[in-house]
Chain A
Amino acid sequence: MPRKARWVKQQTGGAMTTVSHKTTNIDHRSTTSYAWDEAWGLLSMLLGYLVICAIFLVLLATQARADETMAEIEHLDDVSQGSLLFQNPHGRYLQAPSLNTDVAIHVSGMIVRAKVRQAFKNNSDAWVEGIYVFPLPEDAAVDHMRMQIGERVIEGQIKEREEAKRTYDQARQAGKKSALIEQERPNLFTNSVANIGPHETVTIEIEYQQLLRYEAGQFRLRFPLTITPRYIPGQPIQQEENVSQFNGLGWSVNTNQVPDASRITPPLWQGEGKLNPVSLVIELNAGFPLTELKSPYHAIQTSAHKAIHTITLANEQNYADRDFELSWTPEAAHAPRAALFTEEMGAELYHLLMVLPPQPEQNKTQRLPREVIYIIDTSGSMSGISIQQARQALLLALDRLQPEDTFNVIAFNSSINLLFGQALPASNHNLDAARRYVNTLRANGGTNIRPALEAALNIQNESAALRQVVFLTDGSVGNEAELFSMIHQRLGQSRLFTVGIGSAPNSHFMHKAAQFGRGSFTYIGDVNEVQSKMKALFQKLETPLMRELQADFGNAEAEVYPKRLPDLYAGEPLIISTKTNLNTHTIIISGKRQQSTWQNSIQLDQGMKGRGIGTLWARRKIADLMDQQHEGANKEIIKQQIIATALQHHLVSKHTSLVAVDATPSRPESEAIEQQAMPVNLPHGQVHEKIFGLRPRTATAAPLHLTLGALFLLLTLLLKPRRTIEGA
């Protein structure tokens, strides 16, 4: 303060010093207080002046913004229909980049190697950053990424997630072309591509390795093509002041239950037609003669050359709006019962082992009475074809119950509704009531899974010999991790069977929920499949399973995944990945049936050489580590283990990303870069003939006027004419 006072004295110098010279006996204190008055007057004046300037500026800016908004809308009218536009933060409308996806999948025996090429074409005159949230199979081991600019190819490097993001951001700032692949969920990734020049195309090629599914004598390959919009539970955690910084990448704000919600909710395409044309080529080298090769959801064209089948999509135009599935069945004599693959990497040996236990002898094992709880998802994302499939499936399931069984039905969306207060016997009367109830179910509202699962798992009747929870849903939620932990903690004696419904269910949720629930997963993608798929599920529910599976490696050192072998249901093979230091020894696999034990020994040195077996092992190790985290293991330790494994095997994971950076800048410093989230299609069959925008401006300027009014009022107090000057 003294310093400030001195400064004021010097400033007001002239007049004051002359006064003090004349009155020599004036005491020091009064001079100071006089100066203080003077200073205060001046200060408040300056302050007032500043505040007024600021307020005028704010008013001007508001006015300018409103004017600009009007201008934008006019501008929007000028643009021809059908083109995809986006609005930059300054309110300008630009032609959005478009995206083409080409998928090439190579299948060799049980191993899948796939290349996904995403071509980002910038249709505007500005420099653009494209951000695309896209699905991949939930067990895909993403190990390569390449950025292609014209003829040049830049190979992506694996880095810790934060470091990769920093590298990308720096390149983006510097005007260099760069690409970044991040994992949001095991089946959901983000591809960011920075500095795509005006009317330029940048192609990103992503490669992954995967293991085929083999169940009930059938091989199945799935490739997801779009994302069913996820339900985001919880309270927003973003500070309200920061809301304006909403980055436009996702339609949801982050919440306490889904802290990364804005990253997993890409904008939905609302215009005419579909976006993101897709081409798909599959080269299938099954290794045995096939009896059946089919794609239930897409028309396909096949051609065979020697043992290799080539499959392409039959329709000329295909769009990313539903999962692709291809299934094939080997001739009965060639149906594999076991398979072993080996890969040597340095001193380490990786094995992948598939064993299919023989079908149980069909002696009439006594059918045990069971308690079955059916949970049916009636949320808005199930509307349309999905709810019909779910209702049909549930009606079939009800028919299957025996009088000695007990059952209940829980319907949920944002809230839950129990058919009976508790599980009741499957009498004709009760079943009729249930059928009537199921027929009234309609799809609407949110997907609040937790209370429904809690209700199903909490009311456990201990007398029931077998307790099964059958859960029909599309799993379109963002809080998967929370639900896995809950299932793990509360499962008790129950077993959870998930039934995936719709064109693009969240397969990561389905598989993991069934795994934590020690049950299995069935997928119904089409109304016509309900009958056959539910039949397969009933077989699982009713055929006694194989429990307490064990793999004995003798005295060899082996790191085996999954760490805890799962229970097996009818038609399911056991698949384990191992890393060992010895090649010549036998492993013994054993398990318990209802009345007998089963045992099988396998010579590890008889494996077929296969590429990428180590990659698959690492991917399964990471999945196992993530599971441990859901079960309550220390997050930081798990994270370090995941990073170490992922970096060694060049894998994308929750904590590691692939990043590619061009060597030289291409965007001139004078040009700005526009960020654009690539919209995704609604899954096929979802009822969205009509969707309504939320554009109306639903806030008046009243709060602004009232706040400004109050501010000015405050200012008048500050500027109140005062009489202290009289002393001068």
Chain B
Amino acid sequence: MILFRYRTLFFWLALALSLWQLFQGGYLHAKALLAQHLIKHAWHETLEDLQQHKPWPWADTWPVGRLRVPSHNIDLYVLAGDSGRTLAFGPGHRSGTALPGEPGTTLISAHRDTHFSFLKKLTTGDELLFQGINGQWQHYWVSNNIIVHQSDAIADSHENTLALVTCYPFNAIMPGGPLRYVVFAETQKMTPAPKAAEIIKI
């Protein structure tokens, strides 16, 4: 019957669509992963000669820093600018915001499902390291995190502060949601708030 012939057709169609979608998803992850290796080389060259180096000839961005989170085994190369094209390859540094060691807020954005999926695991007191172009590692400690609407803004600070931004919720299926998850880290480590029981002992 004619319907059953369609069934076979649909089977192949579904299989093709499935492979296509899986490939698309995998491609995004692969791109995010592989690009970091190319950027790594560019960053090492930058550290050598203090010049900007594009990770590949047709790139419109270059690495401006390296972000490490030892407690979560994270090692990322941060790119200049935070356009959608840049974020596909690595975390992006908002141009015009401070760089490590400078007074002000350093704003770094990345995708919640690739480079910055670890943000959800960060807690107050976690140590972050950010290497600037001079090779110096600046230490930061996570101070707090907030969930805000994308129409909101975060204020620049007088102090050197790191603001890591990604989309929220982390496991939403559809991209383009209106919420952002922001982790703040400061150059000073504050004692984590003791629990009530601990306070009595002090």
Residues of A at under 8 Å CB distance from B?
41-42, 45, 48-49, 52, 55, 62, 65-66, 69, 87, 232, 236, 240, 243-244, 246, 248, 251-253, 267-268, 270, 380, 383-384, 412-418, 421-422, 442-446, 448, 451-452, 454-455, 458-459, 686-713, 715-716, 719-721, 725
Contact = CB atoms under 8 A, between A and B. Distances in A.
A688 B152 CA distance: 13
A706 B21 contact: yes
Contacts of B161: 444
A528 to B, nearest CB: 21
Contacts of A413: 143-144, 190
Interface string B125-138: 10000000000000
B148 A251 contact: yes
B108 to A, nearest CB: 10
A687 B199 contact: no
B38 interface: no
A699 B177 contact: yes
A106 to B, nearest CB: 38
A700 B191 contact: no
B179 A252 contact: no
A716 B15 contact: yes
Contacts of A268: 152-153
18 contacts: A48-B14, A66-B176, A246-B179, A248-B149, A251-B152, A252-B148, A413-B143, A444-B159, A445-B184, A446-B146, A455-B194, A459-B200, A691-B153, A699-B113, A702-B29, A705-B25, A707-B173, A710-B22
A62 B188 CA distance: 44
B192 A415 contact: yes
Residue of A87, A702, A707, A725 with highest tally of chain B CB at under 10 A: A702
Given A52-B14, A416-B194, A715-B10, 15 more contacts: A240-B171, A244-B177, A383-B158, A415-B192, A421-B202, A458-B199, A688-B155, A689-B156, A699-B112, A701-B175, A704-B25, A709-B19, A710-B22, A716-B14, A719-B10
Interface in B9-62: 10-11, 13-15, 17-26, 28-29, 32
Contact of A691 (B15, B87, B113, B154): B154
Contact of B8 (A454, A688, A701, A721): A721
A246 B178 CA distance: 8
A442 B190 CA distance: 12
Contacts of A421: 202
Interface string B90-110: 001010010000001101011
A418 B202 contact: yes
A377 to B, nearest CB: 13
A473 to B, nearest CB: 16
Given A451-B193, A687-B156, A698 B87 contact: yes
A244 B149 CA distance: 11
B196 A415 contact: no
Given A712-B18, A721-B11, A236 B176 contact: no
Residue of A446, A688, A704, A710 with highest tally of chain B CB at under 10 A: A704
B10 A52 contact: yes
A719 B9 CA distance: 9
A236 B181 CA distance: 12
Contacts of B175: 697, 699-701, 703-704
A415 B172 CA distance: 30
B9 to A, nearest CB: 9
Interface of B: 1, 3-4, 6-8, 10-11, 13-15, 17-26, 28-29, 32, 82-84, 87-88, 92, 94, 97, 104-105, 107, 109-114, 116, 124-125, 143-144, 146-159, 161, 163, 165-169, 171-180, 182, 184, 186, 188, 190-194, 196, 199-200, 202
Contacts of B28: 700-702, 705
Nearest to B13: A52
Given A692-B107, A698-B166, A706 B25 contact: yes
Contact of A416 (B11, B88, B110, B190): B190
Contacts of A454: 196, 199
Nearest to B190: A415
Given A451-B193, A455-B194, A696 B82 contact: yes
B191 to A, nearest CB: 5
Contact of B167 (A452, A699, A709): A699
Nearest to B165: A694
Contacts of B25: 701-706, 709
A271 B118 CA distance: 33
B155 A267 contact: no
A268 B173 CA distance: 29
Contacts of A696: 82-84, 87, 92, 109, 165
A716 B18 contact: yes
Given A458-B196, A702-B114, A719-B14, A697 B153 contact: no
A455 B193 CA distance: 9
B4 A725 contact: yes
A720 B155 CA distance: 57
A486 to B, nearest CB: 10
A459 B84 CA distance: 52
Nearest to A725: B4
B161 to A, nearest CB: 6
B144 to A, nearest CB: 4
B113 A700 contact: yes
A417 B10 contact: no
B173 A697 contact: no
Contact of A694 (B124, B148, B194, B202): B148
B182 A694 contact: yes
A355 to B, nearest CB: 40
Given A687-B157, A721-B11, A694 B112 contact: no
B179 A253 contact: yes
Contacts of A716: 11, 14-15, 18
A295 B23 CA distance: 68
**What are the nearest 7 A-B pairs in CB distance?**
A712-B18, A705-B25, A709-B22, A709-B21, A451-B193, A690-B156, A414-B144
Contacts of B178: 243-244, 246, 248
Residue of B26, B109, B175 with highest tally of chain A CB at under 10 A: B175
Contacts of B97: 692
B182 A414 contact: no
A240 B153 contact: no
Contacts of A41: 3-4, 7
Given A52-B13, A251-B151, A268-B153, A694 B180 contact: yes
A445 B156 contact: no
A527 B194 CA distance: 33
A63 to B, nearest CB: 12
Contact of B6 (A45, A240, A417): A45
B193 A416 contact: yes
A255 B87 CA distance: 30
Contacts of B169: 240, 243
Given A414-B143, A692-B94, A705-B22, A698 B167 contact: yes
Contacts of A708: 17-18, 21
Nearest to B17: A712
A687 B165 CA distance: 21
Contacts of A694: 109, 148, 150, 152-154, 165, 180, 182
B148 to A, nearest CB: 5
A492 to B, nearest CB: 13
B200 to A, nearest CB: 6
B137 to A, nearest CB: 21
Contacts of B26: 706
Contacts of B7: 41, 45, 48, 719, 721
A339 B151 CA distance: 51
Given A244-B178, A701-B28, A725-B4, A445 B154 contact: no
Given A451-B194, A688-B155, A703-B171, A458 B200 contact: yes
A48 B10 contact: yes
Contacts of B17: 55, 708-709, 712
Contacts of B92: 696
Contacts of B20: 709
